[in-house]
Amino acid sequence: MELLFGTCLALFEPKMLLSLCAGILAGIVGGAVPGITITMTIILALPFTFGMPSLQGLATMIGVYIGGSAGGLISACLFGIPGTPSAIATTFDGFPMARKGQPGRAVWLGIWASCIGGLLAGIPLIVGATQLAYLALNFGPWEYFSLFILTLSIVASLSEQSLVKGLIASAFGLLVTSFGADPLMAIPRLTFGWDFLRTGFPFLPILIGVFGLSQIMSDMEKSGIVSDGPVFDRDVDMKVSHLAVIREIFAQPVNLIRSTLVGLWIGILPAVGGSAANILAYDQAKKGSRHPEKFGTGIPEGIIASESSNNANVGGSLITMMAFGIPGDAVTAVMLGALIIHGIQPGPMFVVTNTQIAYGMFAAYFLAHPLMIILEGAFLRFALPAVRLPQHILAPIVLVLCVIGSFALNNIIENVWTFFIFGVLGYGMVKTGFPLAPLILGVILGDMIETNFIRAIMTDSDWTLFITRPWSGVMLALAVLSFGYSLRQRRRAAKRAVAAAESEADIEF
Amino acid sequence: MHRDTGIGIGLLALCALLYWQAGLVSAPPFVPIGPAFYPRVVLLLLAGLALWLIVEDLLRQRSPAPVKAKPTQPAPNYRRVLLGFIVFFGYVAGLSFVGYPAATFLFVLGLGWSIGPHSVRELLKLTVIAVGTTLATYLIFEKYLYVFLPRGLLF
């Protein structure tokens, strides 16, 4: 606790505080602009953190993450367009409430619910990340290998379209990390005689390309401007009684705690993210409500459920990232990349050996929430019209920043080409129904899977140890279960679809 | 040929090429597992999954086609996407030739113009944005953050 307060005080240094505020503000703006996701915002913020000390850079990113998670609700409530996928469910009740003439109430209910949900998730973040990291210290290469396989299997199984496409994306991610020097003996392989590939593909340009370029190109398919929607009235009254709003949130303790727990749990699951958390929390709130028929008409329950869950999701994602070095979502994937750039090895040793930075991240997480309230209030007053930027202005600026982010990694143009190639690949994958998250997770975990796999075999050639060691065996069993469950669900869904099609054909006949 | 079958065949060809390439790596004699071992395991796994994709696609083609719902959204504008990729390719290629400032100015102006509305007012607006973006990013990254941006013939 002392360490937490100590690092909290360090964050009050002007430089730190300024970086945290800049991150939160960037997150709010990025979250509020439809078409720019939190992932994109954090990618754009990345090059600015290269020259900063580790904690300052990470605090900036945490600011972006928290600001972005709350920023998406602004356009969701006022324009009916979720600024980020994690604010989709906020639109269901936030927009109707704003149209009823209560835009201030809709927005501030969301902001305060985000803040309270995020702060509640902060406690499990500190306890969970530390305890899980200590547990992981007892893991050998067999357990690590099984943990990473479990992670990949969960992510591939959760792919919406096709299980085999999710698995192919994961395996392709693993293949990408096979290029260049092998992690144990540093012998180059699959280089085709090209010097650039001797060190393998750099991770960040891949990530920026797959998520950044493919997202912009997908947006470009839509002919109009990104932020079409009802025209925002500059003079709209956003004033509310903050005390009344807070009282309204605390009047629903079950909804608040349930949604926070849903967000936290989804955050802990690798690569699922806030987009699933807010919809699941909204669905649970509706099922648990005494008046489910009122959901979607502009009631506070829906806004509270969605917004408390998406900010709690941030806490959950950080737990997985800090305890195991596994990203909870694309945003924490970028943060992992930033850790490596700053010379910090992610994994369970991170919390143990970099205590100051780990606790600094906890402190930044807590501090960012009240700061988010202040900055979001200022944003609503002064900068709201800026969220309606047309795409032909937004896209080139975003792409320029993506190029700088890729180039600045080690000042070589090949990184920009990597960004371009993986951007084209990412767009192609989106168009052919291949999910992007398993690919990125494969790229992040590839080296660690290989290292632990080879280490396990070199330590003891007995393959059965992967199954007979308790933790390793349990995790592999869970991986098989998750895979089997997903396969069964998809078969049942396919059967239902065929039955529905047949009954429809009968009716037509 | 169906799209997924084509992708599966392409993946199989890629796996075969990389499997052969992995065999060219010389393994040190004193370790039981060489550097080619892991890539080959991944390639075999990927090839197996590619076969699964092909089989799944062929089976889907045999089963009765589901009733297609009418599209509710307008068709994607692939012309804009293609233009976007071409202009962006030109930008990346141009960075090393003309340098960051000139390439960035031309890129922001070119992409904005090619996907946006065409009018003199819009051109003026885009020119101001192109100059502003180039100057702001150049000053912030080169002068403040010491990130050295690509140099070329013009700068």
Return residues 33-72 of B near A (CB < 8 Å): 33-39, 42-43, 45-46, 49-50, 52-53, 56, 63-64, 66-67
Interatomic CA distance for residues A207 and A227, integer angstroms: 25
Q: What is the pLDDT of residue B12?
A: 96
* Residue B19 falls inside a structural domain: yes
pLDDT of residue A159: 67
**Are the C-beta atoms of residues A325 and A348 closer than 8 Å to each other?**
yes
Reported as a pLDDT band with limits 50, 70 and 90, residue A371 is: very high
Give the gap in angstroms from C-alpha A60 to the nearest C-alpha of chain B. 15
pLDDT at A270 over 50: yes
pLDDT of A229 higher than 50: no
Q: Model pTM?
A: 0.78
- pLDDT of A8 above 80: no
Decide if B119 is inside a domain.
yes
Judge whether A293 and A104 are in contact, CB under 8 Å. Answer: no
Q: Which residue of B has its CA nearest to A414?
A: B92
Q: Does residue B155 lie within any of the structural domains?
A: no
Q: In the predicted model, what is the mean pLDDT of residues A340-355?
A: 80
pLDDT value at residue A248:
92
Query: What is the model's pLDDT at position B99?
Result: 92
Cα B146–Cα B147–Cα B153 angle in degrees, nearest 5: 110
Cβ contact A319:A362 at 8 Å: no
Please check whether residues B50 and B86 belong to one and the same domain. no
By CB neighbour count within 10 A (0-12 exposed, 13-18 middle, 19+ buried), where does A232 fall?
A: middle
Contacts B32 to A, Cβ<8 Å? 457-458, 461
Query: Does position A87 have pLDDT exceeding 70, yes or no?
Result: yes
pLDDT at A99: 81
Percent of chain A having pLDDT more than 90?
20
pLDDT tens per residue across span A290-328 = 888 888 888 999 999 999 998 898 888 888 888 888 887
Residues from chain A contacting residue B34 (CB–CB below 8 Å): 187
* pLDDT score of A225: 42
Residue A150's pLDDT is 85
What pLDDT score was predicted for residue A462? 86
Using the beta-carbon criterion (under 8 Å), do B80 and A393 form an inter-chain contact? no
Highest mean pLDDT, choosing among A212-226, A400-414, B56-70: A400-414
- Split at pLDDT 50, 70, 90, the class of A78 is confident
Average pLDDT, stretch A346-374? 86
Structure-block tokens of residue A455: 């280490």
Amino acid at B70: K
- In this prediction, residue A3 has a pLDDT band, given cuts at 50, 70 and 90, of low
Question: pLDDT tens digit string along A419-461?
Answer: 999 999 999 999 999 988 788 888 888 888 898 898 888 888 8
Domain boundaries, chain A: 2-224+234-508
B42 contacts A175? CB cut-off 8 A: yes
User: Which candidate, A486, A498, A475, places its Cα nearest to that of A148?
Assistant: A475
Q: How many angstroms separate the CA atoms of B58 and B55, rounded?
A: 5
* Confidence (pLDDT) at A230: 46
Residues of chain A neighbouring B22 (CB-CB closer than 8 A): 178, 189-190
A237 pLDDT more than 70: no
A431 or A238: whose pLDDT is higher?
Answer: A431
d(CA A495, CA B7): 26
Taking CA–CA distances from A170, the nearest residue in chain B reads: B46
Does residue B69 belong to any structural domain of this protein?
no
* SS3 at position A180: strand
Which two tokens mark A136?
A: 């992981």
State which residue of chain A sits closest to B52, comparing Cα positions.
A164
Per the prediction, chain A carries an average pLDDT of: 83
Name residues of chain B where pLDDT drops below 70. 1, 30-32, 64-73
Q: Which two tokens stand for residue A268?
A: 């802990």
The domain tally of chain B equals 2
pLDDT at A228: 41
Alpha helix segments (H runs only) across A79-140: 88-99, 103-136
Summarize the confidence of residues A156-182 as an average pLDDT: 86
What confidence score (pLDDT) does residue A226 get? 43
Looking up tokens 């089963």 gives B63
- Report yes or no on B154 lying in a domain: no
CA B5 to chain centre: 22
ipTM beyond cut 0.85: yes
pLDDT of residue A446: 87
Q: Please give the span between the terminal C-alpha atoms of chain B, in angstroms, as a whole number.
A: 50
Classify residue A411 by burial, with Cβ atoms within 10 Å: 0-12, 13-18, 19+: exposed
Q: Which residue has the higher pLDDT, B52 or A233?
A: B52
Would residue B103 count as lying in a domain? Answer: yes
In tens, the pLDDT along A92-116 reads 898 889 888 888 899 999 999 999 9
pLDDT number for residue A86:
80
Chain A residues close to B88, C-beta within 8 Å? 213, 399, 420
Task: Kindly report which listed range (A14-23, A35-44, A394-403) carries the lowest average pLDDT score.
Answer: A35-44
Smallest CA–CA distance from A449 into chain B, residue: B38
User: Domain containing B37: what range?
Assistant: 3-62
Three-state DSSP class for A315?
Answer: helix
Distance CA A45, CA A65 (A): 11
pLDDT score for A197: 85
| pLDDT value for A251 | 93
Query: What's the pLDDT band for A231 if we cut at 50, 70, 90?
Result: very low
- Per-residue pLDDT of B76-86, as tens digits, reads 888 889 999 99
Mutation site for B-interface testing, chosen from A44, A153, A164 by largest number of B Cβ within 10 Å: A164
Among chain B residues, the shortest Cα distance to A224 is held by B116
